[in-house]
Structure 1
């Protein structure tokens, strides 16, 4: 009789593990730069619920809010992210045009309709690298100072940013276009890091800075996770309206691009491109194209 009871108990424990997923699911950490699209995996998705994911719920929380994004495979319409959200393969959560406000914890849950949870939550922590420049609305020229700032937005509790970032082996830093890390010993640059999650680079632009790049990188245990690039560019030679005399615009543009793991290629600058730039304008020579006023943009 005792043996039968023992077998019954083992059976109940086994059944409970199937329903609740006591084996657990490892947390996932995803790094992304502002302006990019991201896919958050749902590592506890039920294969018999695909492709409509009718048992899947996605929740989001950070230090300030906790909201339900997806319920039974259907997007909630009353969330700020509604237009940027979609379900992907294996019930993953796709988010377009990431902003710094998107950082935080996302959990994928599997539910029986009007019943209990089938498995433990699959949690994804989203870390967002955000870039800013002091030249975004200011006309600048060679000899002017520029301040570039990068900040990693992450959800951490109970510890300071410095303690958290060091415990995870994460580093935020600036490199030049050759990939060499910039340090406070470089005489041309003033680098400050009020916290390990934010780093600022200050420098004075030179005439020879045409096409020069400075890149902010996030690494974890020496592996590149995300980056944002600041590029100073001059347009090439163009022809006058009568197509008889070549003219060179003495105008310098700054362009910000962001990428993950590898640097995006910069396209040629034209006035009719649907992108915006922060310009550094020197002496004008002859008629110039009527490019739009100064802007800065993250592509």
Structure 2
């Protein structure tokens, strides 16, 4: 009899640990801006009519996105939201403004059921700055947006998150490299890459990676293209967005050439006018 009781007790403890693990563990989701994401609701009941999704961002009030399985239409991004059949929250065309803390909460007869299923959404945003493009170098940067109440350094260290640049060969770039200068801003979680462009850098790629507990979660790849004819540098990301920057060096060479051509044309015009006046004088004699 005691053996059966012990077995039942072990079964209850095991079931309790499973339920605690499902509803009590925080989930971290990493995504690049412009992509779509699905946030799991690990405490969902038999259907979604009891599900409430809440969104919270640092220094902002909590926003209710889904109320008892129905999408609210009074939010700015309601058109990009939808509720999955498993009560997951789907978000289209992610932006850095979507980063934050999402809580999936269950209500039955107006009474909250158990702990929330919390999902931290981290968004990797990347871009190039036109003011930092020159004929011989290019500067790229990526920024990780997250929900945090502490400094970037503190939560990156506590969660074992790392943001870094990788070259085309898949080698992690070091901050001490003479050609590639890497600067990390701990205030805003921005990592910049300034690299000297060589002639062989046509179609060369650089990648910004984000890892969580040593596993790559998301990344953005830049392909830098240079055109010798137009002296144009193009930075193209793997998501299909493209930005083209005209180098000022081109204008330096073009402007003097245009001025010289104008002077030559003016001199030829004056010469023709002078010859025409001489012909008129000769004819009058």
Q: TM-score, normalised by structure 2?
A: 0.72
CA distance in 2, matches of 1:106, 1:190: 36
Secondary structure in 2 matching 1:89:
coil
* 1:168-198 Cα deviation digits (max 9, x unpaired): 1111110101110111222111111121832
User: In the alignment, is residue 147 of structure 1 matched against residue 139 of structure 2?
Assistant: yes
Provide the residue aligned with 1:57 in structure 2. 52
Residues 139 and 123 of structure 1, relative CA distance in 2, 3 Å threshold: closer
Provide the residue aligned with 2:112 in structure 1. 117
Provide the residue aligned with 1:253 in structure 2. 234
CA distance in 1, matches of 2:30, 2:127: 18
Secondary structure in 1 matching 2:97:
helix
Which 5+ residue runs of structure 2 have no aligned equivalent? Answer: 1-11, 251-285
Which 5+ residue runs of structure 1 have no aligned equivalent? Answer: 1-13, 236-247, 259-265, 267-274, 284-299
Residues 78 and 155 of structure 1, relative CA distance in 2, 3 Å threshold: same
CA distance in 1, matches of 2:28, 2:86: 18
CA distance in 2, matches of 1:277, 1:198: 20
Residues 220 and 139 of structure 1, relative CA distance in 2, 3 Å threshold: closer
User: In the alignment, is residue 163 of structure 1 matched against residue 154 of structure 2?
Assistant: yes
Taking the TM superposition and a 5 Å limit, the aligned residue runs for 1:1-299 are: 24-47=23-46, 49=47, 53-65=48-60, 66-113=62-109, 115-135=110-130, 142-143=135-136, 145-157=137-149, 159-195=150-186, 197-233=189-225, 252-258=233-239, 276-280=242-246
Secondary structure in 2 matching 1:91:
coil
CA distance in 2, matches of 1:139, 1:105: 34
Larger Rg: 2
Higher helix share: 2
Q: CA RMSD in A?
A: 2.8
Provide the residue aligned with 2:9 in structure 1. none
Q: TM-score, normalised by structure 1?
A: 0.69
